[in-house]
């Protein structure tokens, strides 16, 4: 277990070195946050019917999304893992007496947590100081906040399990361009980081409720804003947890299968 922790720690420490990337990320996230908010305000003011979330719920959701984007998105991939597969450095990883899946899992987790640590605080502090209705609101209740933290923790592990899958698939396809990039794009849309899930058309909501993606961040964010009541969030959290276990099992099996026929590139 200690080895996996060291992997995580090293990746976390190296991740903290990328400060200018973080500042660039922060400004992008402020920019996108404001653009989104303008669009939604226009949308609410045009007087649409049956809007599934209140304006302040939506805005808080959007800011949480921006503040935690580095953690909950799947498109910033761990370039190192893909490179390892492409260029064959994976030889070294395979020559280690450890489970490769979990080595990668903790690498990705470390990288994600480092990235979010650098970006999270400035966004949270500034946006919570913004005037109504532009700012980040408080959680619905104290219990709501605790449940949000629990759900976000499972969600972070869930997104890690998903992010690790892509380099594992690349073991078979040899390049992440093409099918893998397509998968990532679809997964990101269905996770609600572009448009919150309640704004999806009904059929798409139904589809996405049986997929793992909306349990990454959409569920915890809606718990935070109170769009999902505390007493009705037990089932989704159980589903979230089941998906986490399931994806770890799938990842392990797929890794085993792909390693059998892996072609180590180069040299």
In the complex, the residues that contact another protein under the rule CB under 8 A are: 2-3, 5-7, 10, 13-14, 17, 87-89, 91-92, 94-99, 260-264, 266-267
Indicate the residue among 77 and 222 with the shorter CB distance to another protein.
Answer: 77
What's the closest the beta carbon of residue 48 comes to another protein, in angstroms?
A: 45
**ω into 49 cis (within 30 of 0):** no
Within the chain, strands assigned E span none
What's the closest the beta carbon of residue 134 comes to another protein, in angstroms?
A: 38
> Which long-range CB contacts under 8 A does 211-215 form with residues at least 24 apart?
212/158, 212/162, 212/243, 212/246, 212/247, 213/162, 213/187, 213/188, 214/190, 215/154, 215/155, 215/158, 215/239, 215/240, 215/243
Indicate the residue among 5 and 121 with the shorter CB distance to another protein.
Answer: 5
Indicate the residue among 42 and 263 with the shorter CB distance to another protein.
Answer: 263
Indicate the residue among 126 and 262 with the shorter CB distance to another protein.
Answer: 262
What's the closest the beta carbon of residue 222 comes to another protein, in angstroms?
A: 38
What's the closest the beta carbon of residue 89 comes to another protein, in angstroms?
A: 5
140/151 Cα distance (integer angstroms): 15
> Which long-range CB contacts under 8 A does 40-45 form with residues at least 24 apart?
41/133
Taken in order 63, 218, 5, 258, is the CA torsion positive or negative? Answer: negative
What's the closest the beta carbon of residue 256 comes to another protein, in angstroms?
A: 11
Indicate the residue among 11 and 222 with the shorter CB distance to another protein.
Answer: 11
Burial (0-12, 13-18, 19+ Cβ within 10 Å), 44: middle
What's the closest the beta carbon of residue 97 comes to another protein, in angstroms?
A: 5
Supply φ then ψ for residue 48, to 5 degrees: -65, 150
Indicate the residue among 7 and 243 with the shorter CB distance to another protein.
Answer: 7
């Amino acid at each position: 277990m200690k080895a996996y922790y060291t992997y995580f720690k090293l990746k976390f420490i190296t991740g903290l070195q990328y400060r200018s990337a973080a500042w660039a990320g922060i400004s992008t996230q402020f920019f996108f946050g404001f653009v989104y908010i303008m669009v939604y305000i226009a949308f609410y003011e045009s007087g649409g019917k049956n809007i599934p979330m209140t304006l302040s719920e939506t805005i808080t959701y959007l800011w949480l999304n921006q503040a935690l984007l580095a953690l909950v998105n799947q498109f910033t991939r761990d370039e190192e893992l893909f490179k390892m597969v492409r260029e064959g450095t994976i030889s070294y990883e395979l020559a280690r007496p450890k489970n490769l899946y979990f080595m990668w899992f903790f690498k990705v987790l470390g990288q994600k947590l480092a990235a979010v640590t650098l970006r999270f605080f400035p966004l949270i502090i500034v946006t919570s100081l913004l005037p109504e209705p532009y700012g980040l609101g408080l959680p619905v209740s104290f219990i709501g906040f605790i449940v949000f933290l629990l759900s976000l923790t499972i969600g972070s592990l869930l997104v890690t399990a998903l992010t690790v899958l892509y380099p594992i698939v690349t073991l078979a396809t040899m390049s992440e361009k093409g099918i893998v990039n397509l998968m990532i794009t679809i997964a990101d849309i269905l996770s609600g980081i572009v448009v919150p899930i309640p704004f999806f058309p009904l059929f798409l909501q139904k589809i996405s409720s049986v997929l793992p993606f909306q349990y990454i961040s959409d569920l915890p964010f809606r718990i935070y804003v109170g769009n999902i009541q505390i007493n009705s969030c037990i089932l989704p959290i159980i589903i979230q947890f089941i998906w986490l276990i399931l994806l770890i099992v799938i990842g392990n099996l797929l890794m085993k299968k792909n390693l059998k026929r892996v072609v180590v590139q180069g040299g």
